[in-house]
Structure 1
Amino acid sequence: MPRIKLEIPNFRLDQRSDGYYIIRYQEDGKTKNKSTGTKDPHEAEKARAQFAIDYIKPRLTPEPTISEVVDAYIKHRTGSVASPETLNYVLAAPKRLIGNLKAESFTQSNVAEYIKQRSQEKPQARFAGRYGGRNVSEATINKELRMIRAAFNWAHAERLTERKPEFRIELSSGKVRDEWITKEQANALVRESPSHLALFILLALSTAKRREAILDLKWDDVDLSRPGHEVLHFGEDVGNKKRGSTPIAGNKRLIAALNAAKEKAETDYVIEWRGERVEDVKTALSGAAKRAGIPHLSSHVLKHTAVTWMVQAGVPFERIAKFTNTSKEVIERVYGHHSPSFVQEAIAAVAF
């Protein structure tokens, strides 16, 4: 059986003939040695543990450029975010325009110059499609600079740089999205959808989960065995994307749809089509939306719709936050204006 190649070398202690302990490890296919400088086994073990910790720490040159800091930050975050390619995409423009600057000497005037240059550019299409003639938005530039600042903060926390970032970002982060559909539109959408998409839509509107969490859902994660206690387990969090478990007890429509789908299932995944797992629903959802007369619909709008319906129904923010694995602050900031009590209190306050 072939041995599995480890990303991090194994570090073991060996004692030389002169009594001193050395650390042996593999790097680039070669065996290397590091002296501990001691004959004491306990001190040698301490040296081995410290060497292992230092070995995996990120490294930068004494005066790193912004590109070097950014690349190290991307490498650090790659294993903890849902879509690592997003980091590369967001930070591509900063690396291109200011990547050669020294990170330690980046100032507010550099920020102003970056905003000036970037705001004169046209956005590059990330996937298929065109943006038209508009320039890069303030919200996009704001996001890029915030990511740079996050990289600087990380580097400083890791003691890779001396100075904390002190620049301000005096740009708008963009307006809060407020796209959602009515229940009548939701029913029309389900009617115009093939079976796998209809189930996806029911799950999205019933749980407020993201597309990836729903497409990753397996039948082993669906507990329908105890009537009145049905629950869906969406697994571990991915980066800052919260998943967790969602109760669906009392949702007769969704439970019936899940039971029907399970009887016909050919794969381990809840959302399948013609005997195969569904990787994405973007095209199918767009087609169904057009047939239902709904413009500009995405899976994120379904999530947004589910939370909006809860707020409109007067469900307390704390309960919505717990149900959707989202913070109360986010629910209040993004969806609070849909609350009946918010509207009534605001109208009452300005009545005279």
Structure 2
Amino acid sequence: MGVLNGEDLPDDQFRRSARNPHQNHDPHSPGRNSRDRKPDRMSEAGKPRLCRVSGRDTWHIYHQRKRISTGCTDRASAELVLARYAAELSRPTTRAVSVTEILSLYLQDRREALKPGAERLGWAHKPVSAWFGEKPPEAVTDRECRAYAQKRMESGIAASTARTEMQALRAALRWAAAQKIIAECPNVPLPSRSPPKERWLTRDEAHALIDGCEAFHIRLFVILALGTGARVSALLELPWSRVDMDRRIIDLRDPGKARTAKGRARVPINDGLLATLQEAHAIRETDWVIEWAGDRVASVKRGFRAATIRAGLEGVTPHTLRHTAATWMAQAGVPLWEIAGFLGHSNTAMVEETYAHHSPGHLKGASRVLDMTLLQQFPVERVNTSIRKRQ
């Protein structure tokens, strides 16, 4: 007689018993012609349950007209075996699938759903797929993930980039588990967040960078980025149709894309930016604000790097211009909520964390309370006495 016991039966044999109750059943259990027909009808409509078998001391699991011994004589232990049996039944039936295939299926789903950021997701998947290859999801362990992140950072990749790639892997595995492609999602530890970058341009450095731009479209990009605080992608995707020079408004929001956590804003056009835009509009050849040789510009990295070299600037990237714009606003005392709105953020959390210390009034109220000269005007003894009198 087969015995279903949580302690003695190997896991693989237990799972086979749960999947196929016709195995390991009690040969002495009543058949279809037995007087015990009511439990048969109940088992057909319900879940597996515990039952007693005449002449046996052990509890049995009754399921699909079969009785499977738990090997337990006490009810509490039998309940544990029943719970394990039921859990095995509820586990989804999955097929063998590799990490690379999961990444591919997830990316395809994101593209078909027109989710924003699908292309960036594809770039993040490439190095992850190269590392894990045809390995199964079970190969995604804490140790393997940490080894991947360490290898990427040793190759010169920033910790933030390695973190983004691991986030993409975790999202794909969670999606696969939700779609029942895999039974469960393995844990994916993420590298620590990189500290906020402190590099920003002074006014003199900004003028030197503009003077170092030989190509007009690079110069236009720099002035636009400093005047709007927009992300690089928002400016390269900006058409003239969303630039209203009469009302002096630039709408950085793309109506064809869903709103993401990296929001975009409608920003006003200042005097200096207006003059540059009017100059660019007069000589335009395409519908795009940033253009070169009669075509839309896909990247400004090469031209921007050349401009920084001519200007003698180090550690400056196109994204530094957005950071510079926010820093200048904070230094000028612009309220943090207004800076957040200008940058396209829905709240001030990131702005407070990154730019609050640039504000001229940052923590000055707290510091003033601790000014030692106040103790001469309000001696501690007098304050303590007044407190006791009020009590």
TM-score by length of 2: 0.60
Taking the aligned partners of 1:173 and 1:196, their CA distance within structure 2 comes to: 34
1:71 aligns with 2:104: yes
Report if the CA contact (8 A) 1:66-1:102 is conserved.
yes
Q: Which of 144, 147, 169 is equivalent to 1:116?
A: 147
The 3 A distance-change label for structure 1 pair 92 and 347 is farther
The 3 A distance-change label for structure 1 pair 267 and 337 is same
Residue of structure 2 equivalent to 1:232: 250
Taking the aligned partners of 1:157 and 1:311, their CA distance within structure 2 comes to: 44
1:316 aligns with 2:338: no
- Where do 1:335-346 residues align within 5 Å? 335-344=355-364
Taking the aligned partners of 2:153 and 2:341, their CA distance within structure 1 comes to: 41
How far is 1:254 from its partner? 0.6
The C-alpha deviation readout for 1:155-199, integer Å capped at 9, x for no partner, is: 23344444344x362642222222211122112222232433222
Secondary structure of the corresponding residue to residue 302 of structure 2: helix
Name segments (4+ residues, structure 1) moved above 4 Å. Answer: 120-124, 136-141, 241-245, 345-352
Give, as a single letter, the amino acid of the residue that structure 2 aligns with 1:185. Answer: E
How far is 1:204 from its partner? 0.5
Give, as a single letter, the amino acid of the residue that structure 2 aligns with 1:119. Answer: Q
Residue of structure 1 equivalent to 2:242: 221
The 3 A distance-change label for structure 1 pair 247 and 98 is closer
- Where do 1:160-179 residues align within 5 Å? 160-165=181-186, 167=187, 169=189, 171-179=191-199
Give, as a single letter, the amino acid of the residue that structure 2 aligns with 1:80. Answer: K
Report if the CA contact (8 A) 2:152-2:162 is conserved.
no
Taking the aligned partners of 1:168 and 1:345, their CA distance within structure 2 comes to: 43
Q: Which runs of 5+ in 2 are unaligned?
A: 1-92, 373-391
The C-alpha deviation readout for 1:305-333, integer Å capped at 9, x for no partner, is: 11222222222222222222123222223
Q: Which of 162, 178, 189 is equivalent to 1:157?
A: 178
Report if the CA contact (8 A) 2:100-2:133 is conserved.
yes
Taking the aligned partners of 1:97 and 1:342, their CA distance within structure 2 comes to: 46
Give, as a single letter, the amino acid of the residue that structure 2 aligns with 1:95. Answer: S
How far is 1:139 from its partner? 4.7
Secondary structure of the corresponding residue to residue 232 of structure 1: strand
User: Which of 66-75 and 152-161 deviates more?
Assistant: 152-161
- Where do 1:265-280 residues align within 5 Å? 265-280=284-299
- Where do 1:81-230 residues align within 5 Å? 81-82=116-117, 84=119, 86-103=120-137, 105=138, 110-116=141-147, 119-120=150-151, 131=156, 139-165=160-186, 167=187, 169=189, 171-193=191-213, 194-226=215-247, 230=248
The 3 A distance-change label for structure 1 pair 138 and 349 is farther
Taking the aligned partners of 2:264 and 2:123, their CA distance within structure 1 comes to: 28
How far is 1:253 from its partner? 0.7
Secondary structure of the corresponding residue to residue 181 of structure 1: coil
Taking the aligned partners of 1:279 and 1:140, their CA distance within structure 2 comes to: 21
User: Which of 142-151 and 207-216 deviates more?
Assistant: 142-151
Secondary structure of the corresponding residue to residue 193 of structure 2: coil
How far is 1:144 from its partner? 3.2
1:260 aligns with 2:291: no
Taking the aligned partners of 1:154 and 1:348, their CA distance within structure 2 comes to: 52
Taking the aligned partners of 1:350 and 1:98, their CA distance within structure 2 comes to: 56
How far is 1:273 from its partner? 3.5
Report if the CA contact (8 A) 2:290-2:297 is conserved.
yes
The 3 A distance-change label for structure 1 pair 347 and 198 is farther
Taking the aligned partners of 1:252 and 1:215, their CA distance within structure 2 comes to: 22
User: Looking at CA atoms only, which structure, 1 or 2, has the larger radius of gyration?
Assistant: 2
How far is 1:231 from its partner? 0.7
Secondary structure of the corresponding residue to residue 299 of structure 2: coil
Give, as a single letter, the amino acid of the residue that structure 2 aligns with 1:247. Answer: V
Secondary structure of the corresponding residue to residue 226 of structure 2: helix
Taking the aligned partners of 1:238 and 1:144, their CA distance within structure 2 comes to: 22
Secondary structure of the corresponding residue to residue 362 of structure 2: helix
The 3 A distance-change label for structure 1 pair 137 and 223 is closer
Give, as a single letter, the amino acid of the residue that structure 2 aligns with 1:70. Answer: L
How far is 1:220 from its partner? 1.8
Residue of structure 2 equivalent to 1:29: none
Give, as a single letter, the amino acid of the residue that structure 1 aligns with 2:237. Answer: D
User: Which of 182-191 and 273-282 deviates more?
Assistant: 273-282
How far is 1:337 from its partner? 3.1
Q: Percent identity?
A: 30
How far is 1:252 from its partner? 0.6
The 3 A distance-change label for structure 1 pair 156 and 316 is farther
How far is 1:293 from its partner? 1.9
Report if the CA contact (8 A) 2:153-2:162 is conserved.
no
